[in-house]
A and B are shown apart, each in its own frame.
Chain A
Amino acid sequence: MILAEAIEVTRRYGDVTALDRVSLRVTEGELVGLLGPNGAGKTTLASLLTGVRRPDSGTVTLCGGDPRDPRTRRTLGVTPQETGLPATLRVGEVVDFVGAHYPDPVPRAELLDQFGLTDLVRRQTGGLSGGQKRRLAIALAFVGRPRVVVLDEPTTGLDVQARRGLWDAIKAYHAGGGTVLLSSHYLEEIEALADRVVVLGHGRVLADDTVTAVRGMVGVRRVSFAHDGEPPALPGVVATELREGRTHLLTPDSDQLVRALVASGVDFRDLEVAPTSLEEAFLAITQSETLATAA
């Protein structure tokens, strides 16, 4: 059963095309990661699937219905941004307010206990610490026993401990048969949770594959060194750049590249191997037509 689907969806803001004929299908029980740098269109896609915005063209469905229809959204769980909680309301009041929208909400005490918020039930949300706010925000996604949960960059700005806590909650929900669409710009986060990754860049789907396959594409490292003469021809290079007297090579397998570099007998100096940002990796993907073979 398909729980969330976008077919040929396009969405523009003025002159900017945020999504360009994007198609995505999430079936029941899947945990799909949506990976992309800032501005790739992740938030826009999430807002279409949760009924906040509507597409300019194409169709979006949620559990077989239109996400703009409130009844469809009874099956949906979403996390508010941590900074978006109503500051003057108490924790218990916020949980009750959200729970009232669902036919069979998790009892307040049970939910608060599950997320370690029991002692905070009388506190105003504005007085919570960042980690506590985030725990409450995540709890709200699960209060309605949703069939599908859409989490848009849920761990941005979280410390390591809070991030682990969130991951545990997502894993537990998924283990119980829940369906999750999770966007992130951390490959690490997607690797920890998802089975399948959809890579978004410049509003288009660049890849839709297993975590391992995508790791090979975006887990790119930069190998750079100075040397005299022509740049050497080396295997597994996604992109080559000559800058400030140094050669920069982007590659999914830096170990192999360094071995080949040493074996080639090139007289290199100041060798550096560094991880690239996701932005750089995407630049490499979008610029390189030979990626499929290189990766």
Chain B
Amino acid sequence: MTLALVHARFQLLETIRIPIALIGSAFFPAASMLFFVVPFAGDDPVAATFATAAMVTFSIMVSGLFTYGVGVADDRAQPWDGYVRTLAAGAGPRFAGRILAGMAMSLVSLIPVIAIGALFTQATVSAGGFLLGLGAVFVGALPFTLMGLAIGYALPLKAALVVCQVIFFPLAFGGGLMSSPDQAPGFIAAIAPYLPTRGAVELLWAAVGDYAIQPLSLVMLAVWTAVAGAIAVWAYRRDEGRRFR
């Protein structure tokens, strides 16, 4: 456990020394808030709350995929990673440290989205709903964290970057993050429950507003989490740093 904190501190120090990296994961969701949510749904308290929750989900998905997917792949390409592998720390402390640091960074990147929602829209949430929402964020972040780790440990940096970029878009739109809960186009409504973004955002909608979760979305969220976790552990075990042929 101490080692997990040691590794988390190391990750955070590395990130904080280059603060612009933080802006990257916060920018897109915040910009989407300003361009899509504020002008179109800002005056309707219910729609604004749901839309803000969707942007929060979008934000944790993007930071999960990119922080871990690209971050891990990049670290593996560094000679320092080969050295850290010789230290007395196994997968446990290294995964845990990375996840702790990543969660801290995600929470920071959520601040602009929530601030814009609170200041420029009619979105509202009770104190209890906010705390529940925080819990939903942690559960919802899990599959994306594990997907990121799986990508990062399985692929070299350039491939990881492409895969993250390719999958984040369909996950966001397909999961219905860009449309309000009951107004998604037909084919999105059909595929959304099978995507992890949907389960994550439904948890958040139910936490902060009046929304009845579809069981299928939750089941699929659990399936995605389990599968991504299994792939992440498998990829970590087979990884030996850089591989050349």
A residues apposed to B, CB below 8 Å: 13-16, 47, 50-54, 69-74, 76, 78-81, 83-86, 88-89, 93, 97-98, 100-102, 124, 140, 144, 150
Q: How far is the CB of B13 from chain A (nearest CB, A)?
A: 6
Once the chains bind, are B18 and A88 in contact (CB under 8 Å)? yes
Q: Complex Cα distance A172/B42, Å?
A: 70
A84 and B240 contact, Cβ closer than 8 Å, known pairs A13-B245, A73-B88, A100-B6: no
A89 and B86 contact, Cβ closer than 8 Å, known pairs A54-B240, A84-B79: no
Contact partners of A97 in chain B: CB under 8 A: 6, 9-10
Contact partners of A89 in chain B: CB under 8 A: 10, 13-14, 17
Contact partners of B9 in chain A: CB under 8 A: 97
Contact partners of B17 in chain A: CB under 8 A: 88-89, 124
Q: Complex Cα distance A277/B83, Å?
A: 30
| B188 interface residue (CB < 8 Å to A) | no
**Binary flags per residue of B94-114, CB closer than 8 Å to A gives 1, else 0:** 000000000000000000000
Question: Which residue from B10, B13, B88, B241 sits with its C-beta under 8 Å from A52?
Answer: B241
Once the chains bind, are A70 and B80 in contact (CB under 8 Å)? no
**Max chain A C-beta neighbours (<10 A), residue from B82, B83, B90, B240:** B83
A71 and B88 contact, Cβ closer than 8 Å, known pairs A84-B78, A85-B80, A97-B10: yes
Once the chains bind, are B3 and A101 in contact (CB under 8 Å)? yes
Q: How far is the CB of B7 from chain A (nearest CB, A)?
A: 8
Once the chains bind, are B240 and A102 in contact (CB under 8 Å)? no
| B89 interface residue (CB < 8 Å to A) | yes
Q: Complex Cα distance A53/B85, Å?
A: 9
| B183 interface residue (CB < 8 Å to A) | no
Q: Bin chain B's interface residue count.
A: 20 to 34
Contact partners of B241 in chain A: CB under 8 A: 52-53
Once the chains bind, are A13 and B14 in contact (CB under 8 Å)? no
A-B contact pairs, 17 of them (CB 8 A): A13-B244, A13-B245, A47-B240, A51-B86, A52-B86, A53-B240, A72-B88, A73-B88, A81-B79, A81-B83, A83-B79, A84-B82, A86-B10, A100-B3, A100-B6, A140-B83, A144-B88
Once the chains bind, are B244 and A102 in contact (CB under 8 Å)? no
Q: How far is the CB of B169 from chain A (nearest CB, A)?
A: 31
Residue in B closest to A144 when the chains form the complex, CB atoms: B88
Once the chains bind, are A74 and B88 in contact (CB under 8 Å)? yes
**Binary flags per residue of B181-224, CB closer than 8 Å to A gives 1, else 0:** 00000000000000000000000000000000000000000000
Q: Complex Cα distance A73/B2, Å?
A: 17
Q: How far is the CB of A144 from chain B (nearest CB, A)?
A: 8
Q: Complex Cα distance A213/B76, Å?
A: 41
Q: How far is the CB of B193 from chain A (nearest CB, A)?
A: 41
Q: How far is the CB of B182 from chain A (nearest CB, A)?
A: 47
Q: Complex Cα distance A89/B14, Å?
A: 7
Q: Complex Cα distance A70/B89, Å?
A: 5
Residue in B closest to A49 when the chains form the complex, CB atoms: B86
| B127 interface residue (CB < 8 Å to A) | no
Q: Complex Cα distance A73/B3, Å?
A: 14
